[in-house]
């Protein structure tokens, strides 16, 4: 663990959920810690699209669509149809039963940040995390002698493993790019009119996904290579996950219908 101290302004990049990252250091954080909460995931309610590592694809595919976005083709787990609204996080800060919680969420409030000046990664915590407190905490960050606690060591190991998986994900995406397997896809919804006819089709999302046609057209040797390096299973997990759009749309309609009587009585 690095104890390099620097102004927060030197940390590069804006990271989802982290509003006040600070390099973890005994000089700054020896008298604060983490309070256990029954519902610790309130921060994730704004995460409708959460970064995912490739090793998580099979588990995340059960919850909803896994798509690729941006020039970097970053894989994300779709957890809501509206920006800033996670459909699976309840008001009490817990996830709905049976929903896969991405590692990106589970590592919070820890995160690695780039120290561009010193060309290194620095472990940070989000000082604005609801469960980081200066009194009444259950798990301290540092022992009285200044050494990291067992809790902190475990969190560091989790973040290190996450970084390894993140790099593996970058390599996986590069394989798909090199083979030109991506295509632009759309998720659409056709509502029913009150008279029973179909309404106008609405576009919910535009994203990158693996083209089944391009995948099937690969030379046999490349296909076997994808199978042997484990990429093929992850590709299929992504492709199968896309049926989750229908489930999410149905869930959104159900929730909207349930809220209508409440709005009417308000």
pLDDT digits (tens, 9 = 90+) for 64-84: 999 999 999 999 999 999 888
Using CB atoms within 10 Å of the CB of residue 58, give its burial: 0 to 12 exposed, 13 to 18 middle, 19+ buried. middle
pLDDT digits (tens, 9 = 90+) for 201-238: 888 889 999 999 999 999 999 999 999 999 999 999 99
Name residues of the chain where pLDDT drops below 70: 1-14, 195-196, 261-266
Residues in CB range of 114: below 8 A, 6 or more apart: 11, 12, 13, 121, 122
What was the pLDDT predicted at 122? 86
- The neighbouring-strand residues paired with 148 are 142
What was the pLDDT predicted at 262? 56
In contact, 132 and 33? CB cutoff 8 Å? yes
CA distance 165 to 54: 7
Q: Which helix (H) or strand (E) holds 16?
A: none
Q: Within 13 A of 188's CA, how many CA atoms are on the CB side?
A: 7
- pTM of this prediction? 0.86
What was the pLDDT predicted at 86? 95
């Amino acid at each position: 663990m690095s104890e390099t101290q620097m102004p927060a302004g030197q940390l590069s990049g804006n990271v989802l959920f982290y509003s006040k990252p600070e390099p973890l250091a005994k000089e700054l954080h020896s008298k604060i810690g983490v309070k256990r909460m029954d519902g610790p995931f309130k921060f994730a309610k704004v995460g409708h699209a959460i970064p995912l590592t490739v090793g998580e694809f099979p588990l995340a595919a059960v919850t909803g669509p896994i798509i690729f976005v941006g020039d970097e083709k970053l894989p994300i787990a779709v957890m809501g149809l509206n920006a800033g609204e996670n459909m699976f996080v309840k008001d009490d800060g817990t996830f709905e039963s049976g929903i896969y919680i991405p590692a990106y969420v589970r590592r919070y409030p820890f995160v690695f940040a780039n120290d561009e000046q010193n060309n290194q990664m620095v472990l940070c915590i989000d000082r604005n995390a609801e469960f980081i407190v200066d009194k009444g905490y259950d798990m301290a960050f540092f022992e009285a002698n200044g050494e990291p606690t067992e809790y902190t060591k475990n969190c560091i190991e989790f973040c290190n493993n996450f970084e390894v998986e993140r790099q593996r994900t970058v390599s996986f995406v590069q394989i798909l790019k090199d083979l030109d397997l991506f295509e632009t896809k759309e998720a659409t919804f056709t509502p029913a009119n009150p008279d029973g006819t179909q309404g106008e089709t609405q576009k919910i999302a535009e994203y990158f996904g693996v083209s089944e046609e391009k995948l099937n057209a690969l030379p046999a040797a490349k296909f076997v290579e994808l199978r042997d390096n484990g990429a093929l299973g992850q590709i299929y997990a992504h492709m199968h996950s896309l049926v989750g759009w229908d489930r999410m749309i149905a869930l959104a309609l159900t929730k909207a219908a349930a809220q209508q009587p409440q709005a009417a009585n308000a």
